[in-house]
Structure 1
């Protein structure tokens, strides 16, 4: 529908633009009246509206494609949000299929089950943490 709307508005803008003038000062090309253009637009809209009646399989496939793209867009935006946020992952639905599950809430600290390791975001070494010598301020 976005492409159809875009085509409609671009066509409308092109109809409003003036025609280039020839050397004699007359508009070049053939002219179309506003009523002819309106009749064409109405027939085009009615033709597009009946597309799913003529091709139901194409509409079903298109609907599935749009649904898949929607799911991918939502998942991708969740990944971007999660990577930009400072909070750790708390939503298990954002984890991939091979992601380890969180610790068992029924297990106590002495249950012998280790919590899954989470990759550290701290990549600085001890050498990186040392402040370099800067000398005196009034020197």
Structure 2
């Protein structure tokens, strides 16, 4: 049930982000679209990149929060990957990604000794107890 709710939420978010098909009154006309060439598109992309580079200078608080969020997300992804690899039977990765998973270790499997695997002794069916 939770999966269906999450799927419905992400589908709604995706549909809100996608542009609506069809002509719009405030969009570029066909002649405007034809006048855009590769050089002007490249210049616009360069201006956008330079504007994004200056964002942290204009909004240092937003950059601090964003970097902390990315760091937390990276740690969670590393821990999830380590847990998945451990579950699938591989060795845990070494390095920074393995550090968060150290708290989430599971006990080793197949720890029985050959003496543990021997069946328990049973009295033969025809023998009498003394």
Normalised-by-shorter TM-score class: 0.3 to 0.5
- Larger RCO: Structure 1 or Structure 2 (Cα < 8 Å, ≥ 6 residues apart)? 2
Structure (1 or 2) with the greater helix fraction: 2
Query: Which TM-score applies when normalising by structure 2?
Result: 0.45
